[in-house]
Amino acid sequence: MEEKLIGKITHYFGKINVAIVELSRVLKVGDHIHIKGHSTDFEQDISSIQIEHEDVKKAKKGDAVGIKVDEKVREGDEVYLVV
């Protein structure tokens, strides 16, 4: 399996388990991602993506998106697309 860097975590809302990701590539609902950082290292599938509180199926490079995460993440963690 190959991993491509697709973005960085810029914010994390702990109460609702949502991470804000600044994208450097396209991300779609159903994609499998790997989030890596100092003390973060897990994989998950994307179940939903939001831009400005609106559900979207796909986001492009340059978008700042909100995604539900399975575990705690931190600002600066890197997000990889697993292909």
Q: What is the pLDDT of residue 58?
A: 98
Q: What is the pLDDT of residue 7?
A: 98
With a cut of 70, list the residues of the chain below it in pLDDT.
Answer: none
Per the CB < 8 A criterion, the answer to whether 26 and 60 are in contact is yes
Write out the residue range of the structural domain in which residue 13 sits: 3-82
Q: What is the pLDDT of residue 1?
A: 86
Residue 59's Cβ-count burial label (10 Å; 0-12, 13-18, 19+) is buried
CATH of the domain at 32: 2.40.30.10
Number of domains in the chain: 1
Q: What is the pLDDT of residue 24?
A: 98
Per the CB < 8 A criterion, the answer to whether 46 and 31 are in contact is yes
Dist. CA 35–CA 52, nearest whole Å: 22
> What beta strand segments (E) does 16-63 contain?
18-23, 27-28, 32-36, 41-45, 49-51, 54-56, 58-59
Dist. CA 43–CA 25, nearest whole Å: 18
